[in-house]
């Protein structure tokens, strides 16, 4: 089976700063991978490399068998035209810590924007699908609400529906609940859990260990630009092998 994501010794520098120092991992279709690690360890950078918002300096990143941002001919990489790169990225949904909804558009209008503009879906079809997606994240009542009229948790669920509206084959989440009040975290995690149960392939940077333990197939601990340790969440959380993992988890739990 072709892995949905395959990172092969991925390196990323910002000037002299080496942020990713050879990250290798694989995710099978339908699996959920959670990434944890201290601030500055390169988690967001790694996610941004997956959908080629950042160019890698060395190593290779494949999504569904294709190198992100490049075509390969006779073992040589050629950078894709921006339009081709954007097309690749279209299949990957991304949800950030801050929801970045369009403030002057309703929840539904936020969700149908890209399918109409980018996928050239008819308005009628987009609205139909948009309503279904809002229902899926528990927000059918809020289709006509503006972001300012929604709680943080509701806005984040709209952001998830918006990403799903492009029918991604892969969803990336970068600390989707860390900007939320504690009582709103659960509803967003529940929507993500449903998504995982429906077979979506997901890479989730999170500090929600309960979620990782329950939903993730694999847990990766990153520190200083390397994968220090990875494994089944239960095993990694109860029996970490490396001192750095132990130190990090003891602060978290
Ligand atoms: N565009 C950029 N230019 C220069 N340095 C950057 C850039 N983006 C990130 N960095 C640096 O790369 C390192 C890793 O950042 P990254 O955001 O990937 O960490 P993180 O693990 O996501 O941290 P956090 O848990 O705080 O979100 C940091 O030292 C950061 O300052
Ligand atoms: Mg980050």
pLDDT on residue 77: 85
Cα(180) to centroid(ligand 2), Å: 15
Task: Give the tens place of pLDDT for each residue, 72-122.
Answer: 888 888 889 999 999 999 999 999 988 789 999 999 999 999 999 999 999
Pocket test for ligand 1, best of 13, 20, 42 (most atoms within 8 A of CB): 42
- 229 DSSP β-pair partners: 221
Is the CB of 106 within 6 Å of ligand 1? Answer: no
pLDDT at 100: 87
Lowest mean pLDDT among 16-20, 84-88, 166-170, 203-207: 84-88
- According to the model, what pLDDT value does residue 224 have? 96
Centroid of chain to Cα 101? 17
Q: Report how far ligand 2's centroid is from the alpha carbon of 174 (Å).
A: 7
Residue in this structure with the two tokens 């092998």, named with its chain if needed: 241
Average of per-residue pLDDT across 189-215: 96
Counting ligands in written order, the one closest to the CA of 55 is 1
Q: Residue 198: pLDDT above 70?
A: yes
Which of the listed residues 14, 248, 252 should we mutate to test ligand 1's pocket, taking the one with most ligand atoms within 8 A of CB? 14
pLDDT at 99: 77
152 CA → ligand 2 middle, Å: 19
Q: What is the pLDDT of residue 62?
A: 96
pLDDT of residue 31: 98
Predicted pLDDT at 73:
87
Amino acid 192: pLDDT: 97
- The whole model's pTM is what? 0.95
How many CA atoms are closer than 13 Å to the CA of 135, on its beta-carbon side? Answer: 6
The band of 253, judged by pLDDT with boundaries at 50, 70 and 90, is: low
């Amino acid at each position: 089976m072709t892995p949905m994501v395959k990172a092969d010794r991925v390196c990323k520098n910002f000037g002299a700063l080496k942020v990713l120092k050879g990250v290798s991992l694989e995710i099978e279709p339908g699996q959920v991978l959670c990434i944890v690690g201290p601030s500055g360890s390169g988690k967001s950078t790694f996610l941004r490399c997956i959908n080629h918002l950042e160019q890698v300096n060395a190593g290779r990143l494949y999504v569904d068998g294709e190198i992100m941002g490049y075509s390969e001919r006779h073992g040589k990489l050629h950078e894709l035209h921006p339009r081709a790169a954007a097309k690749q990225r279209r299949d990957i949904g991304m949800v950030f810590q801050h929801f970045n909804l369009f403030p002057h558009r309703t929840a539904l209008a936020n969700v149908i924007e890209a399918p109409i503009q980018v996928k050239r879906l008819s308005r009628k079809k987009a609205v139909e699908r948009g309503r279904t997606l809002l229902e899926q994240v528990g927000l059918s009542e809020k289709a006509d609400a503006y972001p300012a009229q929604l709680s943080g948790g509701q806005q984040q669920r709209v952001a998830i529906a918006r990403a799903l509206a492009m029918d991604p084959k892969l969803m990336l989440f970068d600390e989707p609940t860390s900007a939320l009040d504690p009582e709103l975290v659960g509803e967003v995690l529940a929507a993500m859990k449903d998504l995982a149960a429906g077979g979506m392939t997901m890479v989730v940077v999170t500090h929600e260990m309960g979620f990782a333990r329950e939903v993730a197939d694999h847990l990766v601990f990153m520190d200083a630009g390397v994968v220090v340790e990875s494994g089944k969440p239960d095993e990694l959380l109860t029996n970490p092998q490396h001192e750095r993992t132990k130190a990090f988890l003891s602060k978290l739990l």
